[in-house]
Chains A and B, each alone.
Chain A
């Protein structure tokens, strides 16, 4: 089994912000083409700031931990700031991921990007 660091295990064990937002301002749904896992990210935006973020993920330990972490990272951020969050940043915030699990963090980045696109489209 992959060896995950303490922080990854913490987010895996107690994932933050699990769930959906009924009246979300942006939704990002992505499937991981590598192993077939799925993530959904919901954001609530007020005056250009992300005030809430929630997720649902079908995937491995790293996928769940990165989903949890990305929701933590975006909360309180301006849309433009949130756009600059990369999968590496998410992985770093978790204290790193085993190389074979880096693709799982891409899932989180893409879900975030899609949710932001969705918000901008709806807002336009």
Chain B
């Protein structure tokens, strides 16, 4: 046990008066935490320096606005802001970690605590909300974790499998069908005209199938990413594939560093799927691809000028494109979203972290 000062002396120091004004100053000045209040309906009624730093709104900009502006579209659509308030009312407190939006639309990984505030007569006075920006800690954890290694492994395994299938189709099915097509054409020149027409139809359908198989192998194993890096891979993809669809395309990029192969593949595969959707659904005339370094990762946008049709709630056909894009981004530790406004086109936007390469496994199990 250590020697303790006499209790009375200690107590006198501790109870030094802290006026309400001083306390307000303290809260206002804290930079590491966003601390602010909501009224019972969820409108922002106070704001501090930390909230401004983390979320990018000045007090003048945000006071009086509903706190759901901090949530990504998909969370808003799912009713998460309201649900969080209701939970805080029911349980007294709610804690959550997830993506939130800054004023400029970019995302950060937030730790959020919402506390219900009650008046003396038990009426709901509003909510206290404390927000921390955990983006850096999350990125650091993610980069080191076993999860990252698994993710890299998964991406590579899937690519290897796809490459194998693509080469099998290329080396066997396509070559055999090309041979068949050539022989059919040769035959058509040698038989009486009555049969020739039928042979030509056969030959045309064989050529159609060859083209489809060629596109399939291309989709499975797009040439370029592994050899020349992300930007050139995307650029070639735009030229080879999107160019052939007759879409005007533009490509803007600003990358600080080349990502790991796994990150590059993740970005490429999501862009590929998004572009395929533009082709299949958008009726667009132009598509813009933007790739840039942001928040320690890569922010990508695929913007079309098509119909911007709201997502069809088609129950007959299953849609995997959107699910797969989102899963890829989230498994990589990032986020994915799609905005669509009728008449103005669709924007697919996603961010994935761009960590340093993981060191090779040394503690491999036998």
Q: Do A and B bind each other?
A: no
- Which residues of B pack against A, CB within 8 Å? none
